[in-house]
């Protein structure tokens, strides 16, 4: 691709961190981070509030001084001069950081001048990005007058203007409407064909759709792998018990000795069961179906989902931190238990469309 810095393939891992530390005074924000990432993919950074997700992204962007045995991004040493790295990296922080008094087009033009993009090249890229983000009709509108979703799309378009080899985003879809969130995700899926994308997210569906996940906890990398690899580490099975009163079903299910967690979610109770050598699926289904006083009328085993996976990782934390993680997930968990009641049984496609429509997630 002519004029595209991303066309250069990574002969070595794009990101290599070994024993990386970041301190703010006496507080250790990142502790002994070991991480290797490569290729064109979407990598999700997940974990509880205060785990170090934002700090890690800022480190990768070359914005913070660090201590490390090794720390390279796109071949540039983070312990040295990172000016050249910043020219090949796009970074979208949580807070909108573009010039609010400049228009959409003026913000893009300002960034182009900073990076010394030729006028013709800027015009071509800006036209394409404005079309893909559907911001073209608002090119003359001040950035500060845009909606939340439009602001995020402008911030991402601005980061993509230089065609970076590495795109870093800190919860880019937080607080935007469902339609804008879907549009932003589609942009990232398109861009990961040519760039490495590393993003933090608190949404379950986004985490499940990432090619790879990095779970941070207590300033450390606790687990890495594909969503499926992390699911396979979970030692539980998941059931849904449908009925007229899911909260009552959940309370009754908690009395069963092998149930580790149960809660109402829409029209069913979501029930987690610890794996044991002697416990069979048939027994669990029969026991749950026998909760007739609770109004159970249908029971099914379902695959372990991303919610169970992340909470299982969180359960290995100290009690105080575990409660903090529960608090950090509360906002999106409420989305899982609200909205249009679901009816069993449904096809996988129907469930997917339902999840997308409601923007269900976990923070």
Helices (H), ranges, 146-238 = 148-160, 178-191, 204-209, 227-231
* Residue entry with tokens 């990782």: 313
Examine the pLDDT at 240 and tell me if it is beyond 50. yes
Say how far apart CA 298 and CA 71 lie, in whole Å: 53
**Reading across the β-sheet that carries 236-243, which strands appear in turn?**
259-265, 268-274, 236-243, 296-302
| Residue-level pLDDT at 316 | 62
Please state the rounded mean pLDDT for residues 156-175. 95
**Span 28-46, pLDDT tens digits:** 999 999 999 998 999 999 9
Q: Residue 279: what are its φ and ψ, rounded to 5°? A: -90, 125
Helix residue ranges, H only, 161-258: 178-191, 204-209, 227-231, 246-253
pLDDT in tens, 129-156: 999 999 999 999 999 999 999 999 999 9
Nearest CA-CA partner of 294 in 346, 261, 250: 250
Mean pLDDT, rounded, of the chain: 85
Across 68-72, 198-202, 256-260, 329-333, least confident range: 329-333
The predicted pLDDT at position 116 comes to: 93
| pTM recorded for the entire structure | 0.80
pLDDT in tens, 293-326: 888 999 999 999 998 998 888 876 544 444 444 4
């Amino acid at each position: 691709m002519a004029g595209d810095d991303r066309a250069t393939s990574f002969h070595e891992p794009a990101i290599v961190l070994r024993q990386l530390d970041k301190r703010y005074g006496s507080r250790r924000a990142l502790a002994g981070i070991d991480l290797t990432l490569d290729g064109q993919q979407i990598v999700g950074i997940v974990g509880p509030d205060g785990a170090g997700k934002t700090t890690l992204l800022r480190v990768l962007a070359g914005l913070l001084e660090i201590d490390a045995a090794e720390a390279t991004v796109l071949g540039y040493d983070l312990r040295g001069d990172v000016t050249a790295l910043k020219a090949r990296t796009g970074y979208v922080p949580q807070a909108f950081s573009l010039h609010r008094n400049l228009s959409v087009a003026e913000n893009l033009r300002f960034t182009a001048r900073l990076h010394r993009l030729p006028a013709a090249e800027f015009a071509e890229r800006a036209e394409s990005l404005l079309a893909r983000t559907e911001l073209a009709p608002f090119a003359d509108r001040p950035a500060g007058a845009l909606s939340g979703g439009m602001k995020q799309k402008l911030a991402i378009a601005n980061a993509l203007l230089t065609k970076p080899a590495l795109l870093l985003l800190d919860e880019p879809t937080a607080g935007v409407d469902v339609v804008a969130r879907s549009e932003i995700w589609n942009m990232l899926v398109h861009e990961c064909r040519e760039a490495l994308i590393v993003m933090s997210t608190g949404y379950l569906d986004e985490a499940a759709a990432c090619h790879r996940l990095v779970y941070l906890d207590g300033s450390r990398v606790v687990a890495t792998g594909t969503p499926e690899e992390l699911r396979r580490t979970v030692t539980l099975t998941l059931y849904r018990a449908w009925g007229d009163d899911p909260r009552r079903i959940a309370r009754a299910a908690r009395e069963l000795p092998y149930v580790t967690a149960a809660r109402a979610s829409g029209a069913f109770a979501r029930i987690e069961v610890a794996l044991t050598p002697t416990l069979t699926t048939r027994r669990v289904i029969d026991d749950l179906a026998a909760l007739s006083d609770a109004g159970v009328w249908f029971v099914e085993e379902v695959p372990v989902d991303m919610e169970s996976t992340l909470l299982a990782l969180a359960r290995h934390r100290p009690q105080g931190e575990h409660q903090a993680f529960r608090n950090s997930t509360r906002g999106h968990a409420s989305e899982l238990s609200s909205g249009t009641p679901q009816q069993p049984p449904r096809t996988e496609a129907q469930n997917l469309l339902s999840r997308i429509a409601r923007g269900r997630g976990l923070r």
